[in-house]
Amino acid sequence: MREATPMDVTPQQTAQALGAGTQIVDVREADELGDGVIPGARHIPLGELRSRLGELDPAVPVIAVCRSGRRSGAAADQLAAAGFSADTMAGGMLAWQAAGLPTA
């Protein structure tokens, strides 16, 4: 675990990190998921994150994702404060889809 400020990572870096075993946490609300989800991402709405930290492995890095990147920054800050190695995907799902990366 690290005690560092979460960083912005690109959608391409997120895709590579997912392939390497990083936990991807989608913090959007359930009604936003119809716009597409990163395959393999875990859905935990931002408002539930603090109470659901036990669902995540603190030994594995996390990248938080939302629609545009604002909520995921707050999520990454919460995760880092709880001892996780956490970053945020810059631009959120809008950037992921603009990059032509796959969604489920």
Q: Which residues are catalytic?
A: 66
Residue 8 vs residues 63, 64, 75, 86, 93: alpha-carbon distances, Å: 9, 10, 12, 10, 14
Integer Cα distance of 21 and 43 in angstroms: 16
Integer Cα distance of 63 and 85 in angstroms: 9
